[in-house]
Chain A
Amino acid sequence: MNTLEKNVASPVTPGEQHFPPFEVSDDIIALADERISHYPESKLSAVLPLIHIVQHKHGFVSKEAITWIAGKLEIEPMKVVSVVTFYPGFRQSAPGKFHYRVCRTLSCAMAGSYELMDQICEITGIDRSKLSHHHPIVVSPCGMYSVEFAECLASCGSAPVCLVNDDFHENIKPENAQDLINKYQP
């Protein structure tokens, strides 16, 4: 795979089983058209909402999705790639069914969020060493769980904190990791 193809590549992960593959359905077109109607001046402004729609429905933003969004907004696909790669909240490969975002900014780091991450990884069987800048998300072999470090989640007083999918959890001590995992069972 050449360097340019990597810009839009979506490496296969075990999490893919939990998300429907990207397709241009009537449903998604209707959602997109509705969002675009919010921006009568320039369709370009709808790029963020459209990426959100795709990621929410399909788990991640694939090459096909990028091409579709660019076509829908009549912009260069590179502009969509720029936005997708800029925000850490957007993913280009599938996470697990339960995606754990552990805060690693100062307060949480001091309160033990790295240890929390280690615990979550150990329980879910995720290879923690695979986490890096270019691979911010690691999925468990079963495809149920995935982890990612997040920057400040704006709740420093209740550190350490983490997000599981869209649910926010405070004061998660590393030793309570198992309880947190137990809350989300397939």
Chain B
Amino acid sequence: MICNVCQKNEATVHLTQMLEGEIKKMDMCESCAQQQGVDEPGMPLVDLLVGLGPSSSEGESQSKSSVKVLSCEVCGHSLADFKKTGRLGCSHCYQVFEDQMDPMLRSMHKGIKHTGKTPKNFKDDRALRDQLAKLEKDLNRAVEEERYEDAAVLRDSIKQLTASPELSDEPSVRP
């Protein structure tokens, strides 16, 4: 991996920071990192990112030399806290430490997708989505089979469903 700043040397410092709910990553060589003052706490990554274009989203975040300033904006739990205690700080941490969660959960559990009980308000949501998916499938088939009257009915049902307020409340957890 090449340094994002000088674009010459091998990047050995990997910086990850939470900015307005988005994870920003930077990879730098040691001298550029020093010049940019990465060692100083509280250094805003946004300054570094300006003019550098989008950093690679495929993070080398597991690197030993990485500097971690990733922390949760709800409870202040940092990645170091998480690693030290093995505990999350709040429910939002699951999104913040998303990159760490999947491999960790995979090593602990049977799967990494919840298949158990879902609270009622959530279940309605899921049922609605399932229903919508089925209607769309039916619609496609109706069009293929040139059953346009059926298709019109299906299209109206879909419209009605998508207009219902329950769907706007999509959980913010990324797929």
Tell me whether A and B are bound partners.
Answer: no
Interface residues of B (CB under 8 A from A): none
Interface residues of A (CB under 8 A from B): none
